[in-house]
Structure 1
Amino acid sequence: MDRHNVSVQQQVNQWLELERQGLNKAQQQALNRWLGESRAHQTAYQESKQVEQLLSQFSGQEIAQLERPAKDSKLKSKTTQRYFAMAACFALFALSFFGYQTWFFQINEDTFHASYQSTRGELRNISLPDQSRLTLDAKTSLAIDFDGGRRSNKLLSGRVLFDVASDKSRPFVISAGSTKITVLGTRFSVDKKANSVRVVVDHGRVHVQNQNQQIALTKGQMAVVDSDGIVKTEFDPNLNLVDAFKQGRLVFDNAPLNEAFEEFKRHHAISYTLTAQSTEQLVISGTFLASELESFLNLLPHVLPVEVKEYNNHIVIVDSQ
């Protein structure tokens, strides 16, 4: 690596450290200007972010297990070295093939393109050039495409809390499957599930539409959009449905049991089976910590007519009647 590349990488490392601490408005603008100065800056930043994401897939225990065999014997040392060589080759391939899947680039003040993903159990806070702020829940994928006339977002999966800065000349639009949400400036969350989309409004006015309907939501209202249409309801503000996930809480209000398990899957490497049609029709209400899956499983037989069986990381729910 020549002296210029070393200097660029050092700057990238400084920006990444500032990001981990949380960029303020001036720092975010400075980072965007720095990225716009050259393609080399963009490439170095994107590759470093991808490496950081790859490394985040390994726990401290896994890293320790990889390091430990190297001390046991020459044979194991060679095996470990071979493993790391293969991992390094895969990382380089991933960088070349997937390196631009998580990226952002700003051409001018209005034009901004980005792609963000979060992993299992991860929350990501993002500041956008228009001063909007986003929080991605775990297992979420979001693509952004801003121009001079519209601020477009595509929610591919997961849940996002949007705190949208007002800009009357550029509506803020989120597409989640066939559902479209349009605002000018407000705070709300959008949760894209397998067969539905849920929109919950904290304040402001939000327009929700599908192929056949269009409704407006205001503070304290929510909508569920599925194949049957759009259903609008009101919720108790004390439930904090909009941003409970930011505090690691899962709030269920007559939620189908399978939806509750899908929420926990965002934070735990599990699978589950509901063995009878009756269990699929059960609903649950309450607030649970996302980190305390075991407590949730222990509670289920006390509030629902079910039995819980666990096989490694697979959970089976059976009818107790």
Structure 2
Amino acid sequence: MESDLKTGENDNDGELLLDVAAEWLLRLEAAPGDMNVRAGLQAWIDADPAHADAYARISRMWSVAGHMSERDVRYSSRRRPVVFVATAALAACLLLAIFPTVELYLKSDYLTGTGEVRNVTLADGSVVTLDAGSGIDVRFDDGLRQIELLQGQAFFDIVEMPNRPFSVDAGGVRATVTGTKFSVRTGAEDVTVALASGGVEVMRIGAAVAPVRLAPGERAIVARSGGIEKSKATIAEIAAWRRGRLIIRNETLANVVERLNSYHPGVIVISDPALGSTRVTGNFDLAHPAEALDAVVRAGKGSVIRLTPYLLVVGGR
């Protein structure tokens, strides 16, 4: 096939390979029934295993973008197509993210943005520290102090009132105290409650599961589809994000990426679900979320592709 696309003779540079792979993908999207395009693409892929790998990576990025059509990403052989694939992917990710963000904004009494940590003093004198990308709804009356953690995580320093228990609901889980210091995090996979001082009772709302009582230095992890697992947690680990650190112990990569997304000024996505289930451990600086992502992904035997400074794609090596 006669083509203005490079054939692989001098394109061993990784970034250039991604450019060429993106050009082939966009050409195929523009003419999916053109057998000459398909034959040319196959010949390019067969010419070198590195070509096949580059095309697979670009295809995964394209999937992240929701399989946008060529009319959404205009093709020109004079342009750098990776940039346009990246733009399409970023637009799709932001579109998917905007609706839960709007809902969170409408429901929250207090809300934090990307990279923002905020202290909130409640009407009873209790102090809530909100992590980045977190939101709470506050409901106080004469006999009850109740918080709903709508997203993210928070650390609670509660004024003791024996006749007015303080409870935090998050993802179908309730933590109840009278006065104590503890953290709650709600994520896609689980809800975690960790106790720094005092006492807290953790229960699954509306479920026939016995509540778990924590002592200082313990945490309860409540899986979305399982029971309550209790384990040790050092005081240094509990809400380490208040000191600008992300301390993780045997957590899934997907869970860690979810937390780093609250600090990254853009979107981080995982293109390989199997990689997302990899368990990792480490101590990272939240002031540099992209570098922290690189380190944790390397620990999970993966790699990070920077499509733009704002869109990072995590995939296999």
TM-score range, shorter chain: 0.5 to 0.7
**Matched residue SS, 2:109:** strand
* Structure 2 counterpart of 1:231: 229
Distance in structure 2 (CA, Å) of the matches to 1:197 and 1:315: 26
For the pair 1:218 / 2:215, whether they are aligned, the reply is yes
Within-5 A mapping of 1:91-130: 115-130=109-124
Q: 1:148 to 1:249 in 2, by over 3 A?
A: same
* Structure 1 counterpart of 2:292: 296
**Matched residue SS, 1:258:** helix
- The counterpart of 1:316, out of the listed 304, 313, 316, is 313
Distance in structure 1 (CA, Å) of the matches to 2:171 and 2:297: 35
For the pair 1:142 / 2:139, whether they are aligned, the reply is no
Question: Does structure 2 retain, via aligned residues, the 8 Å contact 1:200–1:241?
Answer: no
For the pair 1:243 / 2:239, whether they are aligned, the reply is yes
Q: 1:301 to 1:121 in 2, by over 3 A?
A: closer
Q: Report the Cα offset of residue 225 of structure 1.
A: 0.9
Number of aligned positions between the proteins: 210
Distance in structure 1 (CA, Å) of the matches to 2:279 and 2:272: 14
Within-5 A mapping of 1:23-34: none
| Identical residues among aligned pairs (%) | 29
Distance in structure 2 (CA, Å) of the matches to 1:300 and 1:167: 42
* Structure 2 counterpart of 1:35: none
For the pair 1:165 / 2:144, whether they are aligned, the reply is no
CA-to-aligned-CA distance 1:191-224 (integer Å, 9 cap, x gap):
1112321101001110000122211011010011
Within-5 A mapping of 1:48-197: 115-197=109-191
* Structure 2 counterpart of 1:282: 278
Q: Report the Cα offset of residue 136 of structure 1.
A: 0.7
Amino acid paired to 1:153: I
Higher helix share: 1
CA-to-aligned-CA distance 1:228-277 (integer Å, 9 cap, x gap):
1111111233xx22231111111111111111111111011333343334
Amino acid paired to 2:247: V
* Structure 2 counterpart of 1:265: 261
With 211-220 and 306-315 compared, the bigger mean Cα shift is at 306-315
Q: Report the Cα offset of residue 317 of structure 1.
A: 2.6
Normalising to structure 1: TM-score of the pair? Answer: 0.61
Distance in structure 2 (CA, Å) of the matches to 1:155 and 1:305: 33
**Matched residue SS, 1:194:** coil
Question: Does structure 1 retain, via aligned residues, the 8 Å contact 2:155–2:181?
Answer: yes
Amino acid paired to 1:221: E
- Identify unmatched segments of 5+ residues in structure 1: 1-97, 103-113
Normalising to structure 2: TM-score of the pair? Answer: 0.61
Q: Report the Cα offset of residue 101 of structure 1.
A: 5.2
Q: Which has the higher contact order (CA 8 A, sep 6+)?
A: 2
Distance in structure 2 (CA, Å) of the matches to 1:291 and 1:207: 33
Q: Report the Cα offset of residue 300 of structure 1.
A: 4.4
Q: Report the Cα offset of residue 174 of structure 1.
A: 1.1
Q: 1:177 to 1:270 in 2, by over 3 A?
A: same
- Identify unmatched segments of 5+ residues in structure 2: 1-102
User: What CA RMSD, in Å, does the superposition of the two structures yield over aligned residues?
Assistant: 2.3
Q: Report the Cα offset of residue 150 of structure 1.
A: 0.9
* Structure 2 counterpart of 1:3: none
Q: 1:278 to 1:184 in 2, by over 3 A?
A: same
Question: Does structure 2 retain, via aligned residues, the 8 Å contact 1:118–1:136?
Answer: yes
**Matched residue SS, 1:228:** coil
Q: Report the Cα offset of residue 161 of structure 1.
A: 0.5
Q: Report the Cα offset of residue 302 of structure 1.
A: 4.8
**Matched residue SS, 2:242:** helix
Q: Report the Cα offset of residue 301 of structure 1.
A: 6.2
With 253-262 and 310-319 compared, the bigger mean Cα shift is at 310-319
* Structure 1 counterpart of 2:40: none
